[in-house]
Amino acid sequence: MTEGGAAELARVVEALLFLSPDPVPVGDLIDACEVGEVQIRNALDVLAEDLAPGRRGLVLREVAGGFVLATEPAAEHAARRLLARPKTPPLTAAQAETLAIVAYLQPVSRPEIARIRGVSSESAVQTLGERGLIEEAGRSRFGAVIYRTTELFERLFGLGSLEDLPDVSAFDPTPEDAAELRERLLRAGEQRAAP
Amino acid sequence: MTEGGAAELARVVEALLFLSPDPVPVGDLIDACEVGEVQIRNALDVLAEDLAPGRRGLVLREVAGGFVLATEPAAEHAARRLLARPKTPPLTAAQAETLAIVAYLQPVSRPEIARIRGVSSESAVQTLGERGLIEEAGRSRFGAVIYRTTELFERLFGLGSLEDLPDVSAFDPTPEDAAELRERLLRAGEQRAAP
Amino acid sequence: MRTADLELDLDVFAGPFDLLLAIVLREEISLLEVELGAIVLAYMEHLDEEGELDLEAATEFLVLIAALLELKSRLMLPAEEEPELDLGPEEAADELLARMLEYRRYKDAGAELSRRFADNRPYLYRSAPLPPELRRISLEASRQAYDPERLGLALGDLLTPPPVVDTSHIRPTVSLELRLEVLRGLLLRASRIDFDEAFGAEDRLTQAVTIFALLEMHKKGEATWSQRENFGPIEITGERRGAGSGAAR
C-alpha cells in the first residue's frame, strides 16, 4: 500500500474509533476496512504519530484489548467544566486492596478476598461492582459468588490487557523485610507470654 | 494571545467537541475554557483548518446549535461494517409470540398484542423495534401505536414476502374453528386472562 | 512463649492486618499490654491517615475492637494446662507471617493500582450515540438467522384455548370478563353500538357492570363512547381493526 493509502486508511480508522463506543480490536478494524493486518498496523502507526501527545486534542490509546480515542490530559479541566462531570473519586485503600486481589487472583470469591484482607470486604466489593470495575463471574463449587475485573477496569487503568499488570511478585517484601517482620512477631509473642 | 496559545486552545476545543455528543455553542466553549470570545473564535479557526475536509478522519461542522465534530463521509462504508451489524440473538418466548402476532395480524396495536398474550408486552415490543424486526405503522384512532414487520424481518427469517410465512393451520390446535385468525387469537387470549 | 497465644491470634484476630502490622512493627509491644483505649486511638489515627471515616471503616473498627476485647479477656484468664499442640512457636509465627506478607503484597499492589487510576483519570472517553444513519441495521449485511417455523409454533400456542372450567354449579352472577367479552364481540362486528339498543333489555346489574366494562375498555384504548345530554343515548365506538389479517390463511 502506498504512503497515501496508509494516510487515507488512518483517516478511516480515526473515524471508526471516533464513532465506536468501546475500544476496537485490530481484528475488527481489519474486517471493517477490508484490508490486511499490515495495512491496519501501518494506518495505526500513522494515526498514533498524528495524535502523538501534544499534537492534537486527542490521543490514541491501546486499552482493554483494542484501540480507542481519548482526550489529552491538558483538556481535563475545561472538559469537566463543560460536561459538569465531577472528578471520579479516588479509590479508598479498602477498594484498592480488594481490586488488586481480584485483578491478580481472578476469578476469586468473596471469602477468599476476606481471608487475605483479614476483614469482611462486602462493602468494597459492592462499591467496585457499582463503579463497574469488577463483575460477577458465576459461582464457586461452594456456592460463593466469584468475581473478575471488567473491560472498564482495563480502560480506566490504562491497561492494554490484564497481561500489562505489573508482576505481583514485584510487591513482595524483600527477604530482609520478611526476616525482620518475623523477628518482631516472635519478640511480641515472647513479651506477651511473660507478663 | 500568541499563536502557540491559539494552537493550544484549539486542542482543548477539539477535546471538548470530541466529548460532547451534541453541538456546543460558542458561549459554552468560552465558559469552559475561561477565555474570551476572540480567543475561542481564533481557536475554532485553527481547528477548522486542521480538520479541513480530506485532512483527517474528523471534520468540524457548524450547525444550528454550535460546533460539532463529525466523521468524514469516506468512512461511512467501513463504519457501517463495524458498527451496524445486525443483532440476532435467539428470540425469547415473549419476543417470538409478540413477533408472531405482529407478523400474522399486521397492522396490530400494542393493546391488542397485550390482550392476545394476556400480559403487557411492552419490553418485547421495544426490543423487537430496536432490533429492527418490527416498526411503527402509525396510530390507531385511539392513539395506540400500531406495528408491522419490516423488510429486515423478512430477510432475517429468510422470507421472500409475508406470503411465505408458514401456514398456521399446521400449528393450529383447533383447525375446525372457522373464525378469522385475529378473532380466535383474541378469544383465546381473553380466556387465558380470565380468572 | 506459649504457643496457645499465637494460635489464639490466628483464630480470634479478625481485624485488618495492616493494623496488626502497625502494632507489631511500630509499637513493638504485646497485645496484652496494650490499653484498649490506646488501640482505639491508634485505629482512629490509622483511619485519619487513610483519610476515610466511612461506614465500612467504622464496621471494621467495631469488628476489630470486639475481637480485641475477646482476645484480651482470654489472655487475662489464668492459663490452663495446654495439650500437645501441632504448631511450635516458630511455625505459628511463620503462619501468621505468611498471612501478613500475603496481605502486604496486595496492599502494595492496591497502592500501585491507585496510582495508575490517578494517572489515567485525565484521559476522557467519548460516550455518544451513533449517528442515526448507523443506528439502522444494514439490510444488505443481514442473513437469515431465524426459522420461520418458530413464528408458526408461537402462534399455535397462542391459539390454544385454556382448559374449560365447568362452572355449571355456580349460581349466575354478572362477570366483568363476560361483559368485556360481549362488548368486544359486538365491536368486532360493528364499529358503533347504541348502548340502549344492545343492552336496554338487560337487568340493572348487568347494565351497571357493562358500563364498568366500558370504562375498562376506554382505559385500555379499545373503545370510547359519547353521550350528548344527560340520560340521552350512549353511542359506543370501537377501535377499528386493521384491514385484513396479513398473511394469515
C-alpha–C-alpha distance, residues A106 and A99, integer Å: 10
C190-206 confidence digits (pLDDT tens): 888 888 888 887 877 78
- AA letter at B186: L
Q: What is the pLDDT of residue A2?
A: 46
Of the pLDDT bands very low, low, confident and very high (cuts 50, 70, 90), residue A169 is confident
pLDDT at C112 over 50: yes
**Rounded to a whole number, what is the distance in Å from the CA of A43 to chain C's nearest CA?**
21
Residue B86: closest CA among C146, A36, C5, C192: C146
Q: What is the pLDDT of residue C209?
A: 84
Per-residue pLDDT of chain B (195 residues; tens, 9 = 90+): 444 588 899 999 999 999 998 899 999 999 999 999 999 999 999 999 999 988 999 999 998 889 999 998 888 888 888 887 666 778 888 899 999 999 999 999 998 998 898 777 888 898 898 888 999 999 988 888 999 999 989 998 999 889 999 988 888 887 777 778 888 898 888 877 765
A91 within 8 A of C113, measured Cβ to Cβ = yes
Of the pLDDT bands very low, low, confident and very high (cuts 50, 70, 90), residue A153 is very high
Give which of C21, C23, C30 to mutate to test A binding, by max A Cβ within 10 Å. C30
Q: What is the pLDDT of residue A38?
A: 94
Which residues does A29 contact at the CB level (< 8 Å), separation at least 6?
A: A13, A16, A40, A44, A67, B82
pLDDT at C7 over 60: no
C-alpha–C-alpha distance, residues C136 and C150, integer Å: 25
Span C142-162, average pLDDT: 86
Of C134, C241, C249, the CB nearest to B182: C241
Contact A171 C123 (CB under 8 A): no
Of A75, A116, A191, the CB nearest to C102: A116
Give which of A9, A16, A26, A46 to mutate to test B binding, by max B Cβ within 10 Å. A16
Of B15, B151, B173, the CB nearest to C160: B173
C-alpha–C-alpha distance, residues B49 and B7, integer Å: 11
Residue B168: closest CA among C246, C146, C243, C188: C246
Contact A74 B14 (CB under 8 A): no
Contact B12 A74 (CB under 8 A): yes
Q: What is the pLDDT of residue C44?
A: 63
Residue A93: closest CA among C108, C2, C14: C108
| Residue ranges of chain A that CATH labels 1.10.10.10 | 3-83, 93-193
A112-124 confidence digits (pLDDT tens): 888 888 777 888 9
Which residues does C199 contact at the CB level (< 8 Å), separation at least 6?
A: C206, C207, C210
B74 touches chain A (CB under 8 A): yes
pLDDT at A125 over 80: yes
| % chain A with pLDDT above 70 | 91
Of B12, B75, B83, the CB nearest to A75: B12
C-alpha–C-alpha distance, residues A174 and A177, integer Å: 5
C25 touches chain A (CB under 8 A): yes
Fold of B93-193: Arc Repressor Mutant, subunit A (1.10.10)
C86 within 8 A of C8, measured Cβ to Cβ = no
Residue C190: closest CA among C233, C223, C229, C146: C223
**Exposure of A31 by Cβ count < 10 A (0-12 exposed, 13-18 middle, 19+ buried)?**
middle
Instruction: Report the chain A residue with the minimal C-alpha distance to residue C34.
Output: A192
Q: Which three cell numbers stand for residue B113?
A: 398484542
Q: What is the DSSP string of C156-200?
A: HHHH-PPPPP--TTSPP---HHHHHHHHHHHHHH-SEEEHHHHHT
Q: What share of chain C is helix, strand, coil (3-state, %, to 5)?
A: 55, 5, 35
Q: What is the pLDDT of residue C98?
A: 79
A41-77 confidence digits (pLDDT tens): 999 999 999 999 989 999 999 998 899 999 999 999 9
Q: How many CB pairs under 8 A join B and C?
A: 193
C192 touches chain A (CB under 8 A): no
Task: Tell me which of 1.10.10.10, 3.40.250.10, 3.40.50.2300, 3.40.50.300 is the CATH number of domain A3-83.
Answer: 1.10.10.10
**Rounded to a whole number, what is the distance in Å from the CA of C25 to chain A's nearest CA?**
7
Instruction: Report the chain B residue with the minimal C-alpha distance to residue C243.
Output: B107
Of C28, C101, C117, the CB nearest to A184: C28
In this structure, is the dihedral angle defined by the CA atoms of residues A118, A119, A124 and A126, taken in order, positive or negative? positive
pLDDT at C70 over 50: yes
